[in-house]
Amino acid sequence: MSSTIEQRGRSWFHALAGAATPLAGLPASLLVADAELAGQPVRYLAVVADAGNPFPRARNGEVGLLEGWGLAQAVDQAIEADADSPHKRALIAIVDVPSQAYGRREEAYGIHQALAGAVDSYARARLAGHAVVGLLVGKAMSGAFLAHGYQANRLIALRDPAVMVHAMGQAAAARITLRSVEELEVLAASVPPMAYDLDSYASLGLLWETLALADSGRPGAEDIVRVQDCLGQALADIASGPRDLRTRLGAVNRAASAQVREMLRAQW
Partner 1 sequence: MHDANIQRLLQQRSFTELGARQRARALLDAGSFRELLDPFARLESPWLARQGIVPQADDGVVVAKGLLDGQPAVIIAIEGAFQGGSLGEVGGAKIAGALELAAADNRHGIPTRAVLLLETGGVRLQEANLGLAAIAEIQAAIVELRQYQPVIGLVAGPVGCFGGMSIAAGLCSYLLVTREARLGLNGPQVIEQEAGIDEYDSRDRPFIWSLTGGEQRHASGLVDGYVADDVEQIRGQLLALFAKGKPALERSRRHAWFLERLQGVDTSVQADAAAVRSTYQGEQP
Dihedral (CA of 4, 9, 12, 13) sign: negative
Residue 129 interacts with partner 1 (CB under 8 A): yes or no = no
Residue 204 interacts with partner 1 (CB under 8 A): yes or no = yes
Per CB under 8 A, which region of 32-40, 82-90, 142-150, 230-238 contacts partner 1?
142-150
- The residues near 201 (Cβ < 8 Å, ≥ 6 apart) are 157, 164, 165, 192, 195, 207
Could you say which of 57, 89, 130, 139 contacts partner 1 (CB under 8 A)? 57
Residue 250 interacts with partner 1 (CB under 8 A): yes or no = no
- The residues near 85 (Cβ < 8 Å, ≥ 6 apart) are none
Residue 24 interacts with partner 1 (CB under 8 A): yes or no = no
* CB neighbourhood size of 211 (10 A): 19
Dihedral (CA of 175, 176, 180, 186) sign: negative
Cα–Cα distance measured from residue 31 to residue 148, given in angstroms and rounded to the nearest whole number: 13
Residue 119 interacts with partner 1 (CB under 8 A): yes or no = yes
Cα–Cα distance measured from residue 70 to residue 83, given in angstroms and rounded to the nearest whole number: 20
| Helix axis angle, 8-17 to 221-239, nearest 10° | 80
Residue 146 interacts with partner 1 (CB under 8 A): yes or no = yes
Residue 240 interacts with partner 1 (CB under 8 A): yes or no = no
Residue 157 interacts with partner 1 (CB under 8 A): yes or no = no
Residue 206 interacts with partner 1 (CB under 8 A): yes or no = yes
Q: Which is nearer to partner 1, 15 or 156 (CB)?
A: 156
Which 79-118 positions form the footprint of partner 1 (CB under 8 A)? 99-100, 102-117
Q: Which is nearer to partner 1, 15 or 94 (CB)?
A: 94
Cα–Cα distance measured from residue 242 to residue 247, given in angstroms and rounded to the nearest whole number: 8
Residue 45 interacts with partner 1 (CB under 8 A): yes or no = no
Point out which residues pair with 228 in neighbouring strands: none
Per CB under 8 A, which region of 15-23, 44-52, 168-176, 209-217 contacts partner 1?
168-176
For residues 78, 82, 86, 87, the Cα torsion angle rounded to the nearest 10 degrees is -40
Residue 245 interacts with partner 1 (CB under 8 A): yes or no = yes
Per CB under 8 A, which region of 7-15, 39-47, 80-88, 165-173 contacts partner 1?
165-173
Could you say which of 20, 23, 28, 123 contacts partner 1 (CB under 8 A)? 123
Alpha-carbon separation of residue 113 from 66, 117, 218 (angstroms)? 11, 6, 34
Could you say which of 22, 129, 169, 217 contacts partner 1 (CB under 8 A)? 169
Could you say which of 12, 44, 201, 208 contacts partner 1 (CB under 8 A)? 201
Could you say which of 70, 78, 216, 223 contacts partner 1 (CB under 8 A)? 70
Could you say which of 23, 35, 194, 213 contacts partner 1 (CB under 8 A)? 194
Cα–Cα distance measured from residue 8 to residue 40, given in angstroms and rounded to the nearest whole number: 24
